[in-house]
A and B are shown apart, each in its own frame.
Chain A
């Protein structure tokens, strides 16, 4: 106790201890970057930083998703290949209950519930679906579970697409077009009132008005930063709790865990439901920010992208997973999007301009288009090389590292072939 007091009385000591561990360093850097990013974006783009800030807020959604999937894959060791389904469920929950969509449904009335309430509703709905899917399937072996979740992940967007206009039970989800014009979040007047923002001589704080096109990107950015921070705290506490230790035990040796009195099914179900709830949470924010949900946003590629984030960062290690999510997001939406233009510029600069245009007979589609097709293979190669060369990820959790290097003794007790319950 006295040592703690001694530490806190000198601020520099705090800074030293923050950098003492690797995770502390990562968190500190992340916080600093998050705080200065909007200013940085504004300066580098000459006052037009809104687009960058908005993109960063989208990246935050993926950070949330990666943190959630990490609970399932990293902590409990269950492979969920249909994670985007819960994302979709969260997004559609918000979309349907905060837009005029249901006016066209057999209900004939539009529902506009507040964002802050629906955040919790989305968590609850997604977690319930997670529990409903998990309860009968978590007894299965790990790879069967992966396939069941994959099947679920394929079913959900198809159902959302089907229950649009012309479905037997009426138009609930908007079908192929999805749901548009979804309400933005609104803050109560005492928070968003006139003392904030441009009405003042000096705009100290951005007005928290999510429908103001000028300020919305910034508002969403801060909102997602706050949400991510809350989630990190929750998940870190979970990891160090009794449940977190149970997850670790189940992951490493299910037989031993069961023998030590852990209810393995309940513990796995909890991981699955908590993972799903994070996804629903992220989906709700995503729908509000985009103001549009459509079935195409939740395809299998999304699930795999989130999985790549978790694997690349280091399964089981929260700061690692966050860095993994940011890295993959930058690769996908910045590097791979701009790569075609860059490669054309490089080819022109080094005198290979001849390979840029497409050939007349169509046998060569041009450098730009060819490079544009790289995304799938890049993602696949990241997954394969990571798993073969460094399965513990870039920033591994120390326990998981040992496990992945040496392998676990044997797999689950619930061998389906034997039909044992």
Chain B
């Protein structure tokens, strides 16, 4: 049995394995979904868009997981709560401008939202830097177990802080985006909200990609991820680079939080637990440490969740997602694009 299992795992690693992996996943999806799609195309399209929008949010969170893991090999358990915190910070900021559900959509709203997003990203990033400085940096050379336990504790601290602040009920995020739907040929339609979510996520991911590829700090981040000591010898300030990674990760998660708020209009203090686990699954699925992988994984997880909610047992959606997590970790821990990650 063990030999057979080892064989499966060998077959699933390597480039051929990538195609096998993608092929099997696609095949399962096709078999399950084609009948549904043929049965009611407009509904199917709506679920698809919904999944993509949902997945875009998971992708934004997953980027933070993957970047932090890439650089200090920590599963930053508190990252999901950094996402929730983004929305929680944005709500009073939006409140300053007196936005309510009845606020008509205008250019002014867009400007304010962009401003709030930038401020929230900065605050949330600052908080994440503080967390790294106080809780993670002192343990950087400790056993990994200690670091992970600290991260779990930090997650509880953040959730606890938000619980103290707003209680256990859903907190309302003003619904300022227009409800307009654009009609497409064939009876399908797409909401403006969906478009906003997907487009802003794509923009942010592309910016991040550009940043890590082109900028000096991005280069420093990649170097640190590859070999911390060597990059230190090359004159890279490790602490600053790691802090920058935490800042960027949190900023993206904060943006995700605001987008979540605008899209769903309600958020709870413990939303980040499940969302964080979904996003972590996405990061692992795409190949942890890999930015494109995290983005792709996020979309995939969003689609799986949305199809499962719409067509299969909604009560089992979490089970499927966590089962994917376990199966990917067991059979292909490098994930979809993991082979592109430099060896350590």
Give the B interface residue count (CB, 8 A). Answer: 58
Task: Check: A77 CB closer than 8 A to any chain B CB.
Answer: yes
B146 touches A146 (CB 8 A): no
Instruction: Give the residue name and chain of the A residue nearest to B131 (CB).
Output: A384
B159 touches A380 (CB 8 A): yes
- Measured between beta carbons, the chain B residues less than 8 angstroms from A403 are 143
Nearest CB of chain B from residue A398's CB, rounded to whole Å = 16
Task: Check: A408 CB closer than 8 A to any chain B CB.
Answer: yes
B160 touches A404 (CB 8 A): no
A103 to B10, CA, bound (A): 46
Among B153, B155, B325, point to the contact of A382 (Cβ < 8 A).
B153
B325 touches A151 (CB 8 A): yes
B329 touches A404 (CB 8 A): no
Q: Which of B295-344 contact A (CB under 8 A)?
A: 313, 315-316, 318-319, 322-323, 325-326, 329-330, 333-334, 338, 341, 343-344
A382 to B160, CA, bound (A): 12
- Measured between beta carbons, the chain A residues less than 8 angstroms from B273 are 300
Nearest CB of chain B from residue A306's CB, rounded to whole Å = 12
A383 with B167, Cβ < 8 A, contacts A158-B316, A158-B319, A419-B334 known: no
B329 touches A384 (CB 8 A): no
B75 touches A143 (CB 8 A): yes
A142 with B330, Cβ < 8 A, contacts A375-B160, A384-B154, A415-B344 known: no
Nearest CB of chain B from residue A273's CB, rounded to whole Å = 16
A137 to B81, CA, bound (A): 27
Task: Check: A200 CB closer than 8 A to any chain B CB.
Answer: no
A144 with B326, Cβ < 8 A, contacts A404-B146, A418-B343 known: no
Mask, A378-405, CB within 8 Å of B = 1, is 1111111011100100000000000110
A319 to B97, CA, bound (A): 57
Of A73, A150, A300, A375, the most chain B CB neighbours within 10 A belong to A150
Mask, B267-295, CB within 8 Å of A = 1, is 00000010001001100100000000000
Task: Check: A159 CB closer than 8 A to any chain B CB.
Answer: yes
A379 touches B148 (CB 8 A): no
A373 touches B315 (CB 8 A): no
Task: Check: A63 CB closer than 8 A to any chain B CB.
Answer: no
Q: Which of B37-45, B133-141, B232-240, B244-252 faces chain A?
A: B133-141
A421 with B6, Cβ < 8 A, contacts A387-B150, A388-B150 known: yes
The interface size bin for chain A is: 35 or more
Instruction: Give the residue name and chain of the A residue nearest to B134 (CB).
Output: A388
Mask, A137-166, CB within 8 Å of B = 1, is 100111110111011101100110110000
Nearest CB of chain A from residue B286's CB, rounded to whole Å = 14
A147 with B325, Cβ < 8 A, contacts A380-B153, A407-B143 known: yes
Of A147, A148, A162, A421, the most chain B CB neighbours within 10 A belong to A147
B143 touches A381 (CB 8 A): no
Mask, B147-186, CB within 8 Å of A = 1, is 1111011111111110110011000000000000000000
- Measured between beta carbons, the chain A residues less than 8 angstroms from B344 are 415, 417
A377 with B163, Cβ < 8 A, contacts A154-B277, A383-B150 known: yes
- Measured between beta carbons, the chain B residues less than 8 angstroms from A137 are 326, 329-330
- Measured between beta carbons, the chain A residues less than 8 angstroms from B277 are 150-151, 154
Task: Check: A311 CB closer than 8 A to any chain B CB.
Answer: yes
- Measured between beta carbons, the chain B residues less than 8 angstroms from A143 are 73-75, 144, 148
Task: Check: A190 CB closer than 8 A to any chain B CB.
Answer: no
B153 touches A387 (CB 8 A): yes
Task: Check: A122 CB closer than 8 A to any chain B CB.
Answer: no
A154 touches B318 (CB 8 A): yes
- Measured between beta carbons, the chain B residues less than 8 angstroms from A81 are 152
A152 to B134, CA, bound (A): 31
Task: Check: B18 CB closer than 8 A to any chain A CB.
Answer: no
A136 with B5, Cβ < 8 A, contacts A73-B145, A143-B148, A384-B157 known: yes
A373 with B167, Cβ < 8 A, contacts A154-B318, A155-B323, A379-B156 known: yes
A234 to B329, CA, bound (A): 33
Q: Which of A116-144 contact B (CB under 8 A)?
A: 136-137, 140-144
Among A136, A381, A404, A419, point to the contact of B153 (Cβ < 8 A).
A381
- Measured between beta carbons, the chain B residues less than 8 angstroms from A421 are 6, 9-10
A144 touches B156 (CB 8 A): no
B313 touches A162 (CB 8 A): yes
Nearest CB of chain A from residue B325's CB, rounded to whole Å = 5
A85 to B329, CA, bound (A): 19
- Measured between beta carbons, the chain A residues less than 8 angstroms from B158 are 380
Of A375, A379, A417, the most chain B CB neighbours within 10 A belong to A417
A161 with B323, Cβ < 8 A, contacts A380-B157, A383-B156 known: no
Mask, A71-85, CB within 8 Å of B = 1, is 001000101010000
Task: Check: B241 CB closer than 8 A to any chain A CB.
Answer: no
B154 touches A380 (CB 8 A): yes
Task: Check: B25 CB closer than 8 A to any chain A CB.
Answer: no
Instruction: Give the residue name and chain of the B residue nearest to A81 (CB).
Output: B152
B316 touches A376 (CB 8 A): no
B315 touches A158 (CB 8 A): yes
B75 touches A146 (CB 8 A): yes
Task: Check: B66 CB closer than 8 A to any chain A CB.
Answer: no
- Measured between beta carbons, the chain A residues less than 8 angstroms from B284 are 147
B153 touches A373 (CB 8 A): no
- Measured between beta carbons, the chain A residues less than 8 angstroms from B146 are 387, 391, 404
A161 touches B315 (CB 8 A): yes
Task: Check: A33 CB closer than 8 A to any chain B CB.
Answer: no
A381 to B135, CA, bound (A): 10
- Measured between beta carbons, the chain B residues less than 8 angstroms from A151 are 277, 281, 322-323, 325-326
- Measured between beta carbons, the chain A residues less than 8 angstroms from B134 are 388
A376 touches B159 (CB 8 A): yes
A142 touches B144 (CB 8 A): yes
Task: Check: B120 CB closer than 8 A to any chain A CB.
Answer: no
- Measured between beta carbons, the chain A residues less than 8 angstroms from B313 are 162
Enumerate the 3 nearest inter-chain pairs by beta-carbon distance, A residue then B residue, closest first: A377-B160, A383-B153, A380-B156
Sample (16) of A-B pairs whose CB atoms are under 8 Å apart: A141-B144, A143-B75, A147-B280, A300-B273, A304-B152, A373-B167, A377-B164, A380-B153, A380-B155, A383-B153, A386-B153, A417-B341, A417-B344, A419-B333, A419-B334, A421-B10
